[in-house]
Amino acid sequence: MLKIPDHQVAGHEAGAGKLGPLVDDSGRFYKPLQSGKRGAEEAAFYESFSSNTKVPEHIRKYFPTYYGTKVMKASTGVEHPHIVLQDLASTRVNPSIMDIKIGSRTWGPEASDAYIAKCLERDRESTSVTLGFRLSGLQVFINDESGFYKPNRDFIHKIGPDDVRVNLRKFVSSNPSEKLDTVPDCSLSSSVYGGTNGILAQLLELKAWFEDQTIYHFNACSVLFMFEKGLVLNGASSNAEVKLIDFAHVTEGKGVIDHNFLGGLCSLIKFISDILEMTGHTATNGQLEV
Amino acid sequence: MLKIPDHQVAGHEAGAGKLGPLVDDSGRFYKPLQSGKRGAEEAAFYESFSSNTKVPEHIRKYFPTYYGTKVMKASTGVEHPHIVLQDLASTRVNPSIMDIKIGSRTWGPEASDAYIAKCLERDRESTSVTLGFRLSGLQVFINDESGFYKPNRDFIHKIGPDDVRVNLRKFVSSNPSEKLDTVPDCSLSSSVYGGTNGILAQLLELKAWFEDQTIYHFNACSVLFMFEKGLVLNGASSNAEVKLIDFAHVTEGKGVIDHNFLGGLCSLIKFISDILEMTGHTATNGQLEV
């Protein structure tokens, strides 16, 4: 019943002798607890978050549902503790997915000097420092024949600011697999990024919460964009969704907003607004005028 | 005619043989060009900014007026190039002033490894990393008899997150010189931080610009808060002003918002909103409800 997820775009992957997430056919996602305190802290975050009455209901929908932890046979064949979550892709057929790690810094102030040095190097090499976020994974559905545009991880880890912009355009284009020197047509941008239920509207709802919430600091956390190209082409809603994932480095907010996450989120919002503006929508100060 | 400014709270100070800013009695402020490319870059910023038609008029008021550069006899007695600016304190009698360096990182992505290491150390030691800003200087007018509460720089450089909050309260209190274990009364908060012309309203106007502007990245730049306690006690407007200063590390925005400055600014806005909320104003998502 357990299998390797079809639509993973970032993070550890399960394989022969390799520890990675599994899914079942009831819509649950089993994420192996990471080693050291990282795994324990991610589980602790889910425990805290799922019972925290200060988190508004309209914000909970941006987080995977948490079903506790479970010791079970892992992808390696041996028993291992897992965090049991909602499988975000379970109800989707051919999801286009983008994983974006938010923040110009991916370390928390309490991390060790060695860990900070390691993160800082990757933050400077990637677009984290310049853009306030970096692309961690991507798959864009083309059609049944060609499948997905899914650049490999080495390519993604090396891309610069201009490539990030191009890939945010490719994500909502009918020609995503074209060469980088072709301008992506962004023909799906209004259905996916725009509109009252689109990705920009969801990011703005998250932004309003981040301007105020001082409970958690989401260090090294990602936002996931998902939609169904098939639905858009059939004239239906794109079913665009924004989710937050990866909470192994969340720390207490201690009465201070998560200015690092918020800054990166605002930068991403500006990129998305630019694409909508370019394709004929008007956006002012990050506020979509519909 | 030239003299050492009365109300400087941070930065290099002029003195016997020491290079520092001078003011004249016509309301001009002469800032010695810093050594290396730092000084040249600050002058270049003022040149660019003062002629940039993309900067909206309502934003220009947050910057000192720029009158060019001038080689003149410096505070050391020898000729030195200076940046000539508006003296922000020239029309004030007993200004309360706070200098806050914005951003959880004070270095730009193009800085050298050695400079980044030096800045990172100070960012981690101070509240920059935790709060997204740090206090650089402070003077609070008490009364004619006692003069100013003006903690020394060593004290200011060592203060932690809780002390920052206390000092933001002291700044708008009638009892600023009391010991730290006394809760500042914040009796001037509504006049200084609140209202349609108060500091919060000005910060929110700047925030809206920073959510959209991609021209400049204001690395290691400060916001200055200024007001006149005497005016408030006489029932007049506090004449509260927010200004941006210190542009030696500004870099080009290259189409990306200044997420580092914006994040820190939002964190500061939340601190100010918290004080207004505590003192009976309501603030939601950083928006002041008046």
Band the pLDDT of A36: cuts 50, 70, 90: confident
b/e burial code for range B68-107 (CB count within 10 A of at least 16 → b): ebeeeebbeeeebebbbbbbbbbebebbbbbbbbbbbbbb
Percent pLDDT > 70 in chain B is 94
Domain boundaries, chain A: 2-86, 95-285
Residue-level pLDDT at A178: 61
- Provide the CATH number for the domain formed by A95-285 in this structure: 3.30.470.160
Instruction: Reply yes or no on whether the pLDDT at B281 is more than 80.
Output: no
3-state helix, strand and coil shares in percent for chain B, rounded to the nearest 5? 30, 25, 45
Asked if B286 lies within 8 A of A131 by C-beta distance, the reply is no
DSSP codes of every residue in B71-121:
EEE-TTSSEEEEEEEE-TTTT-SSEEEEEEEESS--S-TTS-HHHHHHHHH
Percent of chain B with pLDDT over 90: 79
Residue A193 has pLDDT above 80, yes or no: yes
Is the model's pLDDT at B285 over the cut of 80?
no
Identify the residue whose tokens are 């775009």: A9
Closest CA to A242 of A219, A271, A222, A260: A222
Average pLDDT score over residue span A161-190? 85
What does the pLDDT look like over B46-75, one tens digit per residue?
Answer: 999 999 999 999 999 999 999 999 999 999
pLDDT confidence bin for B181, thresholds 50/70/90: low
Using a CB-CB cut-off of 8 Å, the residues of chain A touching B270 are: 211-212, 214, 256-257
pLDDT tens, position by position, A202-236: 999 999 999 999 999 999 999 999 999 999 988 88
Residues 260 to 279 of A: which have CB under 8 A from any B CB? 260, 262-264, 266-267, 269-270, 274
Residue A125: which of A96, A163, A103, A157 has the closest Cα?
A157
Q: Which of A263, A274, A284 sits opposite B259 (nearest CB)?
A: A263
The predicted model scores a pTM of 0.94
Rounded to whole angstroms, the Cα distance separating A148 from A140 reads 5
Q: What is the pLDDT of residue B286?
A: 44
Q: Which amino acid is at B105?
A: R
Q: Is the pLDDT of residue A181 over 80?
A: no
**ipTM at complex level:** 0.94
Mean pLDDT of A70-83: 94
* Nearest chain A residue to B129, by CA: A109
Which of B169, B209, B259 would best serve as a mutation to test chain A binding (most A beta carbons within 10 A)? B259
